Structure formats: C-alpha cells, structure tokens
Structure 1
Amino acid sequence: MATRWGICSAGKISHDFAVALKTLPAEDHQVVAIAARKLEDAREFAKKHSISTAYGSYEELTRDPNVDVVYVGNIHPYHLKACLLFMNAKKNVLCEKPLAMNTKEVKEILDSAKRNQVFFMEAVWTRFFPVSVEVRKMLAQREIGEVKMVRSEFGVPVLHNRRVVEKELGGGALLNIGMYCLQFVCMVYNGERPESIQATGVCLDTGVDETVIVTLKFSEKRMAVFTYSSSIQLPNDAIIVGTKGTIQIPAWMWCPTSLIVNGKETQYPLPEPCFPLNFHNSTGMRYEAEEVRQCLIKGLKESPVMSHSDSLLLAELEDEIRKQVGVVYSQDCQ
C-alpha cells in the first residue's frame, strides 16, 4: 500500500519535493493533497503535479482522512505552528530544515510528537543520500582509522534572496546554509556533543549572520571546523581525515553525488526530474521520503538516521553559534 502524502505550502521546495516523489514507484508513494494559504495557489500546484485534492488552508489538510503523512514545506519561522497543527490532528510529519528558530521551539515540536504519538522527522535530506549512507558505513567499519578532523564549507552568494537577509523571514546564513556543515560534523561524530565550540564572523545590517567560521573540539583530541557564507562562493566540499586515510565529498556537500576515498572516486547519480527544479539535486529528496515510508511500515515514531535527539543537538549548537556571533531573533525573546 502506498504512503499517501499531503503537502503543506505550495512554494518552491514543495514543488521539488513533489518532483522527487515522482522518481519513486507510484505503488509506494502518492501525493493525495496539497494545501496553501491561497486556494488558487493550491489548485495551480495540484494541476501541475496531478494531485487530486487542493485546499486553501492548512486546517483543511488536517481533516483529510486519506493523508498518512504531511510534508511541511513553508519557511522555518512558521514551522512551529504548522507542525503543532498537524501533529495535534494525529498526522505524521516530515518537516523541512531547519526545524525551527531555536531550541525552545524545537523542544515544543518534539514534545508534541511524543505526546500525540505520531512519527516526526526533520528533513535533513543530506543524511539519506547514498553518499552519506556509505560514509556512515565506512566510519563504523573504521576504514580510515580513527577520525581526527572534519572540515566542510558551504558558501553561495544569495543576498538577493529576502528569505536569507530579512530577520523576520528567518534570515541568516547559519539556519539556511551553515546548518548543513554543522549536521555533517554531528553525523561524522555520531551525535556526540562537542566539548567546546567557538564561532566568529560578520553580520549584515539586518542583524543576521553573513559569513562565519566555527571550530569545534571533541573528546580525545578530535576537531572539526566549518565555514559558511551567504555572500561568497566557497568550494562547498567536505573532508574527513582519519589516522589511516581520508574521505572526501568534492562538491555539493549538502546534496552529494560523489565520494573520494583515499583518492578513489565513486559516483552516485540521481534520477532525472520530470519538471525543472528550483534547487540543485532536489530529486535527492526521494531518499528522505523513502526513509519516512520505511519508518511508518516499521511502526517507528522517529528515524534512527535523523532522530529527535539529532534535531535537538543541532538546535542547541545553532543557538550557541548565533549567541557568539550576535544574532537574536524575536522568537528568542518570547
């Protein structure tokens, strides 16, 4: 029986998610409903993606008995309200990253998932790419010995995008870009909390972070460093250095399709999309969607790959980085 998806928000990322689902077998995944704040937007989305039902409010989507799980694709300042709305209606939820504006909101979302006994996962899609699966396997088998250093970079000039610049829209390079580097470090070190974290950088006149360098120290003299920026183009690669070798992601570390292990490169191509995409390699969202399906089939309430504790750690470290750089959102003062 297919996993029946409802989509919350008819924006760009929701379009790409719907396209990604089309690369999976129709007998496994079906989008049965789309909800937007304006009915005309939902109807246009539904027509384009051949979705049978369109709603002009999120509340209507909560009452649809044919929806097994909701993909929340609106911007992160509104994730808290949307997630609580669906989970209080006993809907399973896959919420786009970043999960929320701060740790307080993340805890509220996770508490709601537990209270309502529904499946919930933050859509950190990078973790489910075949490249990431292979990296975790190699680390578990200690193929490069003991990991001593992790480095990653993610920088793209996106200051033309109001969503990245304006504080009220959840702007800031960390939540929009840098969190990919941070989650990569957390994945490599298997969710271990760093002993110390130091962040230094510059902010825009709007009060959000623009370019930041973060250094993390872990137990047993292990280190990590990452740089992120919303104003400049960086190599956007990552490397894990161990005592017996290296693992490299040469480009697109946030949506990886190739891996270099001790100098040998392997490609992991993505399926072609049926429609033009808004974001690079977006058909890779198929992997997180399949993870949701497998978890639902097994009766799990969270993914072992991107668990609730993983989301909480990310939020706590993000809060500390923002604190050190001097970024404060209105949600932090509530």
Structure 2
Amino acid sequence: MGKPLINVAILGAGRIAHHMAETLVKMAADPRYSTLVAPYAVAARDGDRARAFADQYGFPVSYGSYEELVADPNVDLVYIATPHSLHAEQGKLCVQAGKAALVEKSFAANAAQARDLLDAAESAGVLVTEAIWTRYMPSRAMIDEIVDAGLIGEVKSVSADLSYPVSFKARMTDPALAGGALLDVGVYPLNFIDMVMRGRTPERVASTFVPYETGVDASSSTTLVYGDGTMAVATSSMLTVGDRLGLIRGSEGYVTCENINNVERVDIWNKDHKLVASREVPEQLTGYEYEVASAARALLDGRTECPEMPHADTLRIMELMDSIRALWDVKFPFE
C-alpha cells in the first residue's frame, strides 16, 4: 500500500489490446493491484478508433498517433500490442521518449531487432521487457518446484504443443508482418521447454515445417537435444486444433501440464501411470496481470528488466527461432 501508481498506456487497439484493457480495469478494481497500476491511455493510428476503445474501457486519454502517446508526460509504462514486425521500431520509440515498454511476444521479428532494442534500452537506462505471460504466471514456479523435488526423478524428455486454426488472420499469413505460426503460437512451446530446461542452450536443433501458400510456416515440429541427452520436442500450427499439452518425463514418472499457453492444472504421475498428485493453478483475473505487475514493480525499483523474463532469455529464444527459420530457409521480406 502507498506505492505510487504506474499509469499504463496501450499502443495499438487490436484483439490483444482489448484483453490487456480488460486486465488493467480489473487490476484497478483489485486491492492487490489498485495502488500499483492505473489504466491511463490508448493510441491507434485512427483517432476515432482510439477514442472508441478508451470510452469502452473508461481510459481517460486517447491518441490518434503513437508519437503523441509517448510524448505524454503522464505515461509511465507502454504495452505494445501490434504485429511482430513493428515491435522493435515502436519499442525504440518508447525508449527514446524515456518510456518503459512491455512488448508483446514475440519480442521482435528476429534476434537482430531484439538486440538493437535491448541495447538501446540498456544505454538509456529504460525498462523494456517481453510480455510472454507464461513466464510470469504462478504455474511456472509450481512446475519448477515439482521438478526440483525429484518427484519424477531425473528429467530426460520434454514435449509441448500449441496449435490454433488462425490462418484467417491477415497478420498470421503476411510475411511482411513477420507472420507464421512460429512467432505467434510456436513461441509458447519453445518457452515452455526453455523454462523446464532452466535456460540451457540445446546442442543440436532439428526442425521441419509445412509452408502456408504465402511462404510463412503453417505447421512445424522442432527437436532440441541438450548436452546431458535430454530431448525436447516443440510442435505448433495455425491450421489445427492442438492438445496444448506440456509433458515433462523423468526416470520415476512424468508431469502433465494442461494448456501450456495458460496452465490450468499440473498432474504428477508415477511409473505405473497412476496419478499421485494434482495441483490447481490459483484463480486469476485474466492471466495478464502478472506481467503488468512485474513490469510496474521493476519500474518502481529502477530496474531495466524483469526477473521473470530477463533480456538474456528473450535473446536466447529469439536466436533459437532464427536458427529454426534458417533450417527452413524462411526469411521475412525485410531481412
């Protein structure tokens, strides 16, 4: 109690921006967060659209340009909710204006863009962090505790899938917007595996994909092999309904995680495939509140990154996705 409010602004007014607006309104009404963050402003390239968005959620301010948003001295933290290809450019716009930025995943279109933005943020001493919500959720600590307790023995295999039929969305199929399943849904299985493996870099990567008619990836499967022999498989698609399942297999049993995109339940199974424990994830507002709260607290503490998703982790995932696309020989037009 008593901490200063962080005024949060949303850059962009698409579908994910609406989810964030709902989150901010709920946080402002929740005693756990009401003295930490406040929904303040939204910006879109269309001023009427921005005004309608602000009116819908009760935001006091709206702007018809991103430049006006970052020039507002009352804005503390900007949530960037635009296509992947624009994240680096808009992140730098925030940094140059001295505004902290919470950048929606994927953080950028490639590792070079990500590195450029993070270098600019570090040089300016401005907070920039990636908004991949699974990194901030309580389920992450729950899974780590189960693995660390040795309940399934030594981990030797991990798999994760996230697939949704979303090829009807223009940004998903447009190469100029860094479209494709990998950067949008495929990033979640890779992050799930990376969290289980505690950020270790795989020694070998093999991958295959099915292209969409525009040349971006429609579906893919990637195998990661680590130095101790642990093998992990990540699958994703924008054409199919997937099981969203995360599996962590050990020498004494295995763990199943229902919905790696927003873990609902974690089950522990023994060698005989008998359920020995089940852990429910705490009730949440929307799931986005954790990343917002972490960024707000980091900003108040004068930090330039969040502990749940430090810059090194963002860069490692971006570099991994670059290497996967290189195996496919898939490039975006601007690369």
TM-score, normalisation: structure 1: 0.92
| Percentage identity across paired residues of the two chains | 34
Counterpart for residue 245 of structure 1: 253
Gaps of 5+ in 1: 273-282
Instruction: State the alpha-carbon separation in 2 of the partners of residues 144 and 295 from structure 1.
Output: 34
Partner of 2:280: 267
Range that drifts further, 202-211 or 16-25:
16-25
Q: Specify the SS of the correspondent of 1:23.
A: helix
Gap change, CA 1:295 and 1:137, over 3 Å in 2 = farther
Q: Does 1:308 align with 2:316?
A: no
What residue is the counterpart of 1:216 in the other structure? 224
Quick check: 1:136–1:188 contact (8 Å CA) kept in 2?
Answer: yes
User: 8 Å contact 2:107–2:314 — kept in the other structure?
Assistant: yes
Tell me what 2:107 maps to: 99
What amino acid is the match of 1:331? Answer: F
Q: Equivalences for 1:107-118 in 2 at 5 Å?
A: 107-118=115-126
Which residue is 1:13 aligned to? 16
Query: What secondary structure does 1:45 align onto?
Result: helix
Of 140, 162, 166, the match for 1:154: 162
Return the match for 1:254 from 261, 279, 301: 261
User: 1:44 deviation in Å?
Assistant: 0.6
Q: Which has the higher contact order (CA 8 A, sep 6+)?
A: 1
Q: CA RMSD in A?
A: 1.4
Residue deviations 1:25-73 (CA, integer Å, cap 9, x gap): 3222201111111111111111111111111111111111111111111
Give the aligned partner of residue 326 of structure 1. 329
2:54 corresponds to which residue?
A: 46
5 Å-filtered alignment, 1:114-263, equals: 114-250=122-258, 252-262=259-269, 263=275
In the alignment, what sits opposite 2:272? none
- Displacement of 1:97 in angstroms is 0.3
Deviations 1:285-315 (A, max 9, x none): 1111111122223322111211101010111
Judging changes above 3 Å, is the alpha-carbon distance between structure 1 residues 88 and 328 closer, same or farther for their aligned structure 2 residues?
same
What stretches of structure 2 of length at least 5 have no aligned partner? 270-274
Structure 1: distance between partners of 2:74 and 2:292: 17
Partner secondary structure for residue 284 of structure 1: coil
Q: Structure 1 residue 91: deviation in Å?
A: 0.7
The letter for the 2-side match of 1:213 is S
Measure how far apart 1:269 and its partner are: 5.1
Amino acid at match of 1:108: D
Query: 1:127–1:133: 8 Å Cα contact kept in structure 2?
Result: no
Task: Give the TM-score normalised by structure 2.
Answer: 0.92
Question: 215-224 or 60-69, which moves further after superposition?
Answer: 60-69
Q: Deviations over 1:87-121 (max 9, x none)?
A: 01111110000011111101111111101101111
Change beyond 3 A, Cα 1:47–1:209: same
- Does residue 11 of structure 2 align to residue 3 of structure 1? no
Indicate conservation of the 8 Å contact 2:134/2:262, yes or no: yes
Moved more, 27-36 or 82-91: 27-36
